[in-house]
Chains A and B, each alone.
Chain A
């Protein structure tokens, strides 16, 4: 039996952000995550550090939160934020009226803007559609959500926080109607651990209702899935948004060696059962190609889908895009608090607010310092961006993202992990154009050589990985990506002999 003050459920940006805040204020805590960090919406988003521009017209409060947090994260998290800046581009058909509203709202919400003529914008991003009318520059940035979560956890671990990844909450323990602990299943050993805590925080995003229900409460949420596609080149150095009211396929984000384009917004009921529909991909691709025409011909290497945990609005007739991207804290009055809604950009603020609430609950008044304390552990990260990794290119395990063997070895040593995702998220192995087609086999080979997995486990993991990888690329199999797929199939099914032979 483990005893702690605060049990945080969920290892996304919010959960890890709360762990960091608790740690900096000296609160004993433990965090439980059923998969790896950033396994839900945090890791399945487009990695955009919003300037707030996207929300400024419709939801000025959310926009103010974004721009404030944007400035803070640039300061405290230099190694996981790439200050790309962003453009809102106006294409033929996008109204001047919206542009004026946009500029006005940005002035009111404090988002700095600079209007650029078409030729200046094209100088800045030569791949833009030459038909653009004009563009507005805003302080958008690209952020690596996996690194962000890892860094939050460093602060927690350094101050004694107990972190359980790949552990699933299977029950909430109640004593006289109060939530007093959790029962947790270790997914690697199948062992069940009991953790006792004074307060439980439900920071599980899309899984919020499931956890709240275990504690006997209901939460007002709705789930909206959003899909993204990844192109095999960095097509732009700036984030590109469409200067029009938010709709499907209006954003392109550069992320190290690749570019992401999204998104869609479709209501779903089950966060564990997501599919990416071919229509969604075609929609995103066509819309992205309006802004950057290369999307017509570029090799798309993967598609994926995440779930936005949104606050349920009183009037839901306007669809999920009309729902506020703000967040809400609910005190269930039984020892459990839920934190709902929000977005990656405002994760720190969300953590601050709920930690304030818990301090109040405990009658303590330690102040929040997460906005001014730089994220700890940044010095240990492999060089960022990728250009820095070019300095050391011997013994490379992942050629796409230039991940050296030493770095992979270090992660395996430190985490003793059995999960390939843990290595991918910590080193960017397999995140580039071949999507792990070559390097996953290598990383798993290293894990077994170092004794952390048996060869059988490693083959199982390889199989699951290949199946998952195929699921992401199956909707994109045409042109060059079809060639890549046939090559990968040739390697694994034929050369390695992994095919099922019942024809």
Chain B
């Protein structure tokens, strides 16, 4: 098949870029090897740091951070664009992009983020605030007692959903009869507070109507607390975002590992997808590399060398004798600086391809965990790369 643009990687940056391009009327494909890392995330949009003002935090980031290539206005516009788009599609995010808020983590700590998906709207628990927790019998990835350490007044009720996995409970919640039984059980509990925390299992496909029904029938304000992966909020975000892209005409190639590519002079012309039997090919006028960092498989480190796994283009390697910190809890291993360096048009440096662009956490110096900027970086560099592709194709 022939496209205007082929985006490699179906994480936040890849899908974001594809939606932007499809909206501009360009024929766009997304090629992905598997589910992206955002599908195990908390679903929150982290923009920057732990301070209260996200843009003040970004100013403090080192000069080489990819955010500075997007610019303050670019970051603000692209994340607002994302918020509005997905909001119209029924997935509402709360929060302002220039502010940080904190949400409750599964061990009762606070975690800074900027935008939260609607089931976490009330998760910004203040010091000393009282809330109730509903948990599930034998659920294996959520233990309310961790939360209660920091909120000693919190009471816990336990519902028996007859399954121990978050995915299992979330699937049951999508079923109306189960939900009604659950709601009538809640109404028999003695819940004294307005706010009720619940592990993130409120359905996979019908979360908005489940939440609405819960609040109507019980009069309580429910908020989800993220759990260990499989993370339902991450899964919801990924599925919704992908559907949104499809509704804009983006074509997805899933389970598609790229085995080779073809080029003519300084242009990549075609990528070859591994398939049993005859390989599939996707040709395009421009390509966006959004394959992520090591965890996603976009980069690979083989003890001595850094490798970009699709086009084998040069990878910036950090100048450090020790690539890993000694302390597990210290953020930012030097190795996380590794990645693809880009010019002002989001084209990889020294790759020799004029129609290749890059976005997301594969970019050198992004250090998304250290700077708390994961999805924010992905969205804004995704849009920025897409804008440059648009310009390039004119």
Q: Is the CB of A493 within 8 A of B329?
A: yes
B301: which of A463, A466, A482 is its contact (CB, 8 Å)? A482
* B263 within 8 A of partner (CB): no
Q: Using Cβ atoms and an 8 Å threshold, which residues of chain A touch B357? A: none
B292 shortest CB reach to chain A, Å: 10
Q: In the complex, what residues of A have CB within 8 A of residue B231's CB?
A: 495
Q: Is B332 an interface residue (CB 8 A)?
A: yes
> Are A442 and B109 neighbours in the complex by a CB distance under 8 Å?
no
Question: Is B42 within 8 A of A495, CB to CB?
Answer: yes
**B393 located at the interface, meaning its Cβ lies under 8 Å from any Cβ of chain A in the complex:** no
* Contact call A487/B107, Cβ cutoff below 8 A: no
In the A-B complex, the 3 residue pairs with the closest CB atoms: A445-B143, A486-B295, A470-B328
Which chain A residues border B300 with CB–CB below 8 Å?
479
Query: Does chain A have a CB within 8 A of B138?
Result: yes
| A135-164 contacts to B (CB < 8 Å) | none
Q: Given A478-B302, A499-B329, does the pair A490, B146 have CB atoms closer than 8 Å?
A: no
Q: Known contacts A474-B324, A479-B302, A483-B297; decide if A494 and B369 are in contact (CB<8 Å).
A: yes
- The reply to whether B332 and A503 form a contact with Cβ atoms under 8 Å apart is yes
Q: Classify chain A's interface size.
A: 35 or more
Q: Is the CB of A467 within 8 A of B301?
A: no
Q: Does B149 contact A (CB under 8 A)?
A: yes
Task: State whether the Cβ of A315 lies closer than 8 Å to any Cβ in chain B.
Answer: no
Q: What distance in Å separates the Cβ of B33 from its nearest Cβ neighbour in chain A?
A: 12
Chain B residues with CB under 8 Å of A255's CB are none
Report yes or no: B42 in contact with A467, Cβ–Cβ below 8 A. no
B140's contact among A397, A495, A497, by CB below 8 Å, is which? A397
- 14 new A-B pairs (CB below 8 Å) besides A405-B140, A493-B331? A395-B164, A441-B143, A446-B143, A455-B145, A467-B327, A478-B302, A478-B303, A482-B335, A487-B295, A489-B328, A496-B105, A499-B329, A499-B369, A500-B330
Residues of B within 8 A of A395 (CB): 138, 140, 164
Least Cβ–Cβ distance between A274 and chain B, in angstroms: 15
Does A477 belong to the interface (CB within 8 Å)? yes
Q: A405-B138, A474-B324, A487-B295 given as contacts; is B105 within 8 A of A497 (CB)? A: yes
Contact B146 A458 (CB under 8 A): yes
Per the bound structure, the CA–CA distance linking A6 and B72 in Å amounts to 75
Residues of A with C-beta under 8 A to B323:
477
Do residues A495 and B301 form an inter-chain contact, with CB atoms below 8 A?
no
Q: Which residues of B (128-150) have their CB < 8 Å from a CB of A?
A: 138, 140-141, 143, 145-146, 148-149
- Chain B residues with CB under 8 A of A456: 149
A416 at the interface (CB under 8 A from B): no
Query: Which single residue of chain A is at the shortest CB-CB distance from B227?
Result: A495
A residues within 8 A CB of B205? none
Cα(A473)–Cα(B143), bound, Å: 27
**What residues of chain B lie closer than 8 Å to A113, measured between beta carbons?**
none
Are A497 and B111 in contact (CB-based, < 8 A)?
yes
A-B contact pairs, 24 of them (CB 8 A): A395-B140, A405-B140, A441-B228, A442-B143, A455-B148, A455-B149, A458-B146, A459-B146, A470-B328, A477-B323, A477-B324, A482-B301, A486-B294, A487-B37, A487-B229, A490-B37, A490-B295, A491-B229, A495-B228, A499-B330, A499-B369, A500-B329, A501-B331, A503-B370
Does chain B have a CB within 8 A of A438? yes
CB of A477, distance to nearest CB on chain B (Å): 6
In Å, the complex CA distance between A470 and B148 comes to 28
Contacts of A322 in B (CB 8 A): none
Quick one: which of B40, B141, B145, B297 contacts A490, CB cutoff 8 A? B40
Residue of B nearest to A453 (CB): B145
The answer to whether B329 and A463 touch across the interface, beta carbons within 8 angstroms, is yes
- B94 at interface, CB cutoff 8 A: no
With an 8 A cutoff between CB atoms, is B106 at the interface? yes
Interface mask (A393-425 → B, CB under 8 Å = 1, otherwise 0): 001010000000100000000000000000000
Contacts of A500 on B, CB cut-off 8 Å? 327, 329-331
B32 within 8 A of A: no
Query: CA–CA, A466 to B297, complex, Å?
Result: 24
> Which residue of B108, B138, B295 contacts A483 across the interface (Cβ within 8 Å)?
B295
Residues 347-366 of chain A, each 1 if its beta carbon lies under 8 Å from chain B, else 0: 00000000000000000000
Minimum C-beta distance from B321 to chain A (A)? 12
Nearest CB to that of A278 among chain B residues? B303
Q: Is the CB of A498 within 8 A of B109?
A: yes
A277 on the interface (CB 8 Å rule)?
no
Partner of B106, one of A405, A448, A477, A495: A495
Enumerate chain A residues within 8 angstroms of B330, measured Cβ to Cβ. 499-500
Q: Chain A residues with Cβ under 8 A from B324's Cβ?
A: 474, 477
Interface string of B288-328 (1 = CB under 8 A from A): 00000111110011110000000000000000000110111
B164-205 CB contact bits vs A (8 Å, 1 = yes)? 100000000000000000000000000000000000000000
Which residue of A is nearest B229, CB measured?
A491
Q: How far is the CB of A479 from chain B (nearest CB, A)?
A: 6
Q: How many A-B residue pairs have CB under 8 A?
A: 124
Closest to A484 in B: B295
Complex-state Cα separation, A458 to B41, whole angstroms: 24
* CB atoms of B331 and A497 under 8 A apart: no
B99 at the interface (CB under 8 A from A): no
Q: When each residue 233-273 of chain B gets 1 if its CB lies under 8 Å from chain A and 0 otherwise, what string results? A: 00000000000000000000000000000000000000000
Contact with A along B141-162 (1 / 0, CB 8 A): 1010110110000000000000
Contact A482 B294 (CB under 8 A): yes
> What is the distance, in angstroms, from B375's C-beta to the closest C-beta of chain A?
11
B226 at the interface (CB under 8 A from A): yes
Q: Interface digits, A432-456 against B, CB 8 Å rule (1 contact, 0 not)?
A: 0000001001101110110000011
Q: Which residues of B contact A496 (CB under 8 A)?
A: 105-107, 109, 111, 228
- B50 CB–A CB distance under 8 Å: yes
B50 to A449, Cβ gap below 8 A?
Answer: no
What 1/0 flags go to A186-223 for Cβ under 8 Å of B?
00000000000000000000000000000000000000
- CB A433 to nearest CB in B, in angstroms, measures 15
Which of A438, A470, A474 contacts B228, CB < 8 Å? A438
Q: How far is the CA of A486 from the CA of B40 in the complex (A)?
A: 12
> Chain A CB within 10 Å — which of B41, B328, B330 has the most?
B328
Is B387 in the interface zone, CB < 8 Å from A? no
- B305 nearest in chain A by CB position: A478
B143 touches A448 (CB 8 A): yes
Cβ contact of B293, chosen from A446, A477, A486, cutoff 8 A:
A486
Q: B69 on the interface (CB 8 Å rule)?
A: no
User: Shortest Cβ distance from A439 into chain B, in angstroms?
Assistant: 8
Query: B107 contacts which chain A residues (CB < 8 A)?
Result: 459, 496-498
User: CA A490 – CA B293 in complex, angstroms?
Assistant: 13
Cβ proximity bits A463-475 to B, threshold 8 Å, 1 near / 0 not: 1001101100010
Q: Write out the residue numbers on chain B whose beta carbons fall within 8 Å of the beta carbon of A474.
A: 324, 326
In the assembled complex, which residues on chain B have CB atoms less than 8 Å from the CB atom of A459? 107, 146, 149
Most chain B CB inside 10 Å of its own CB: which residue of A474, A487, A494, A501: A494
- A448, A467, A482: which contacts B329 (Cβ < 8 A)? A467
- Contact status B293-A494, CB under 8 Å: no
Q: Does B220 contact A (CB under 8 A)?
A: no
Chain B residues with CB under 8 Å of A494's CB are 111, 369, 372, 374
- Rounded to whole angstroms, the CA-CA distance of A496 and B329 in the bound complex is 12
Q: Which residue of A lies closest to B50 (CB)?
A: A501
Query: Using Cβ atoms and an 8 Å threshold, which residues of chain B touch A448?
Result: 143, 145-146
CA distance A397 to B332 in the complex (A): 30
Contacting residues, chain B, for A477 (C-beta < 8 A):
301, 323-324, 335
Tell me the complex Cα distance, A487–B297, Å.
12
Q: How far is the CB of A409 from chain B (nearest CB, A)?
A: 10
What 0/1 readout, one digit per residue, does chain B (366-377) give for beta carbons within 8 Å of chain A? 000110101000
* A497 B110 Cβ-Cβ under 8 A: yes
Chain B residue nearest in CB terms to A476 = B303
CB-CB < 8 A to A444: which residues of B?
Answer: 143
B229 / chain A contacts, CB cutoff of 8 Å: 438, 487, 491
Q: How close is A217's CB to chain B, nearest CB, in angstroms? A: 38
**What is the CB-to-nearest-CB distance from A460 to chain B, in angstroms, rounded to a whole number?**
11
Contacts of A489 in B (CB 8 A): 328, 369
